[in-house]
Structure 1
Amino acid sequence: MNAKLLFIAALLFVGCSKDPSAIEGGKADWGIQPALPVVNGEATFNLNAADDYVSVMGNSVPRMPNFPKLSARSGVVRGYVADLSGNPLEGAYIGVRSTATGGSYSGASDETDVNGYYEITVPWGAAEFYAAGYTIDYGEGRAVVSLGAADGKLGSFASAEGLVKNFVLLSYGVFNKDLVSQKPRDPTNYAGGCFYITYNVADASSVYNPETYIPENAEIQVTLTPDEPGLFGENKKFVINKKASLQNYNFIVMNVPIGRYTLTAKLNGKPLRMEAVGRYANLYPYFGLKPGTATGSAKLLFTPDTQSGNSLTLPNRGNWGSLQIKVERAE
């Protein structure tokens, strides 16, 4: 039996029934929630020849909602799941697995109730979260979204000690500041959407330079304009100016608040032709660049990296795929 089959055989989902009295006071008290962060206005980013990425919301983490108080109980992991507004989310999936031997896992899971509460009896051993997902209405479709730990931490823990862990649905922000400092251009370290622009640059030393190629040192400008407020009212415009260079042929735009946008692309003020390419091009009918080929402007709706369901969605890891958009001169 290969390792994959051994893992599947070992991942036995242990059922657990929730006792309403397990919640302190018998009822969840969410209290008064803080005001949502204000995300509006316009931000401009200038990338030089060597720059190949930008996080438009920086390395900030939105303030967390107020969660009801819970205390740890031996052998149990429990907590709440909410969106950034402090609204409890029903039906969020939380999965935990444990190992006592270092090779085989036993797992357990739960879905949150109407109070956003989950409770899992953890198999004995060193435990960790293997899934935390929630499905949202997004555009004309549905999208599976990763949930982030409210405290930003997701290390292993001893099942015997128990744990309280709250999760939150974010539209942008850093999941783990330590990981971002190590891999700042990894889009999965951010909760926001992402895409990257790819292009060909005319090389003076080459005899092959089609008219569609972009001249070296010319300025590519891409602009994201919200068509409507995002998941939590975000309504910010982003302008990215990038100097074309033979040093690199693409740049990635990350951590964009989730929502509907109009994407425009220009070269020294003239419209560029855009085309969706790569693994996500026209993959879903409602997500991505629409239309898939356009000059000057098109609609953009971020694409989930996987639609496999909440149980296969990793916690604290962005689940938005990097849309690849090729730009070239239209003339």
Structure 2
Amino acid sequence: MNSKWLYIAAFFVASCSKDPDAVNGGEKTNWGDQPALPVVSGQSTFTLNAADDYVSVMGNTVPRMPNFPELKVKPGIVRGYVADLSGKPLQGAYIGVRSTATGGSYSGASDETDANGYYEITIPWGATEFYAAGYTIDYGEGRAVMSLGAADGKLGNFPSADGLVKNFVLLSYGVYNKDLVSQKPKDPTNYAGGSFYITYNVADASSVYNPDTYIPENAEIQVTLTPDEPGFYGETKTFVVTKKASLQNYNFLIMNIPVGRYTIAAKLKDGKPLRMEAVGRYANLYPNFGMKPGTATGSAKLLFTPDTQSGNSLTLPNRGNWGSLQIKVERMN
């Protein structure tokens, strides 16, 4: 993994303040051998027709999970491990649960993982759910909060008395919940990767107002994302998306992009570069993220923008925390 993306110095230690050996009846913390990381390299191309308005560049795949140490279920306790995709335990990840009885208010409890990636929470009585699972990474020149995904892809209510073992993973791309994706395939928060919109105006032959900057109908907009360096887990894939401009829609969403640093280039397929401008809610929201510079012709640098910087304790589990930056493209005069 590229050292610039080594977002935590997490390592195995034999004893710590919450060593499962000491508190769990002799259970051993053994991460064991880990499978090789998925290879994400080469180039993928996508063609969007006039009616198409989104693409998930990594599809609906879920990366293979790391191997977690085995834990037994303990009544009244929720516990587990948090790791990155390589099987490296993550220290300082926040896991929060809350419980409610019929007609009652919520009672919450939380924990942060230790050096072994282990957390353990005594559950308040009632029907219980996870309300937070977040981890802060170094990203570009700043820091960003990312959601953690349940390793088994499942989150739901469970009786507090039963207890539960639940492991979480930090993903750079992939589907969090296949059921939700089947219902809302265009919701970028259902994916772990970053996303952005390309917006544009289309020249309308029936209108008297057609500035030269408008994209001709049926012209093909081509957007290329090239990694500036390997991503979190060594991803180096380039993505090329071509979209036919149409009066049916004025934007398209590119999502589930492996988190990393990119160069974004936009042009008409005939080779003429397009002017790009970051617009909308996420434009210049944080100084270290987004498109740099905010206005550019042909190409610019791109880092994805966190939807919120409010901290790990307010980051929902199994839900992407990247906002979809809007990038307006237009022809040059």
Same fold at TM > 0.5: yes
Is the contact made by 2:277 and 2:329 (CA closer than 8 Å) also made in structure 1?
yes
Contact 2:78–2:166 (CA under 8 A) maintained in structure 1: yes
Aligned equivalent of 2:29:
28
Q: 2:25 & 2:210 partners in 1: Cα distance? A: 70
Q: Distance in 2 between matches of 1:265 and 1:26?
A: 55
Tell whether 2:318 aligns with 1:316.
Answer: yes
Q: Which amino acid is 2:60 matched to?
A: N
Partner of 2:172: helix, strand, or coil?
Answer: coil
- Rounded Cα–Cα distance in structure 2 between residues aligned with 1:197 and 1:148: 27
Return the alpha-carbon distance in structure 2 between the equivalents of residues 255 and 302 of structure 1. 11
Q: Deviations over 1:253-288 (max 9, x none)?
A: 000000000000001311000000011111111100
- TM superposition score normalised by structure 2: 0.93
Q: Distance in 2 between matches of 1:206 and 1:19?
A: 70
Letter in 2 for 1:270: K
Identity %: 84
Question: Which shows bigger deviation, 22-31 or 177-186?
Answer: 22-31
TM-score, normalisation: structure 1: 0.94
Residue in structure 2 matched with residue 54 of structure 1 by the alignment:
55
Q: Could you tell me how far 1:330 is from its partner in structure 2?
A: 1.2
Per-residue deviation at 1:38? Answer: 0.2
Tell me, yes or no, if the aligned pair for 1:198 and 1:249 is still in contact at 8 Å: yes
SS in 2 for 1:160: helix
In structure 2, the residue matched to 1:270 is: 272
- Once the two structures are superposed, what CA deviation does each residue of 1:183-213 show, in whole Å capped at 9, x if it has no partner? 0000000000000000000000000000000
Separation of aligned partners in 2, 1:223 and 1:23: 51
What letter matches 1:289 in structure 2? M
**C-alpha displacement of 1:28:** 1.3
Structure 2: runs of 5 or more not aligned: 1-16
Matched residue of 1:235: which SS?
Answer: coil
Report the RMSD for the aligned CA atoms in angstroms.
1.1
Count of residue pairs the alignment pairs up: 315
Are 1:95 and 1:311, in contact at CA under 8 Å, matched by a contact in 2? yes
Aligned to 1:181: 182
The reply to whether residue 292 of structure 1 matches residue 299 of structure 2 is: no
Question: Which residue does the alignment assign to 2:42?
Answer: 41
Moved over 6 A (4+): none
State the partner residue of 1:329.
331
Q: Distance in 1 between matches of 2:104 and 2:192?
A: 31
1:246 counterpart residue number = 247
Task: Provide, for residues 123-175 of structure 1, a one-character-per-residue CA deviation record: whole Å limited to 9, x for no partner.
Answer: 00100000000000111110000000000000110000000000000000000
Correspondence 1:209 to 2:210: yes
Of 303, 306, 328, 1:304 maps to 306
Residue aligned with 1:179, SS: helix
Given that 2:134 and 2:145 are in contact with CA atoms closer than 8 Å, whether structure 1 keeps it comes out as: yes
| 1:19 Cα deviation from its structure 2 partner | 6.4
SS in 2 for 1:49: coil
Opposite residue 58 of structure 2, the aligned amino acid is M
Q: Could you say which residue in structure 2 is the equivalent of 1:9? A: none
Amino acid at match of 2:41: N
Q: Secondary structure at the match of 2:181?
A: helix
Task: Give, in angstroms, the shift of residue 18 of structure 1.
Answer: 4.5
| In 2: Cα distance, 1:303 partner to 1:25 partner | 43
Deviation at 1:25, TM superposition (A): 3.4
Q: Per-residue deviation at 1:101?
A: 2.0
Residues 55-103 of structure 1, C-alpha deviations (whole Å, 9 max, x = no match): 0000000000000000100000000000000000000000000001244
Please give the alpha-carbon distance, in whole angstroms, between the structure 2 residues aligned to 1:226 and 1:103.
Answer: 50
Mapping 1:155-174, distance limit 5 Å? 155-174=156-175
Q: Which consecutive unaligned segments of at least 5 residues does structure 1 have?
A: 1-16
1:84 aligns with 2:102: no
3-state SS of 2:308 partner: coil
Maintained 8 Å contact 1:96/1:108:
yes
Which residue of the partner structure matches residue 282 of structure 1? 284
- Is residue 24–residue 69 contact of structure 1 (8 Å, CA) maintained in 2? no
Distance 1:102 1:229 in 2: 50
Instruction: Name the CA distance, whole Å, in 2 between partners of 1:231 and 1:284.
Output: 21
- The question of whether the paired residues in 2 share the 8 Å contact of 1:82 and 1:169 is answered with yes
Alignment partner of 1:224: what SS? strand
Give the Cα–Cα distance (whole angstroms) in 1 for the partners of residues 70 and 25 of structure 2. 7
- 1:102-133 C-alpha deviation (Å, 9 max, x unpaired): 44100000000000000000000100000000
Q: Which residue of structure 2 lines up, in the alignment, with residue 133 of structure 1? A: 134
1:298 is aligned with what amino acid?
A
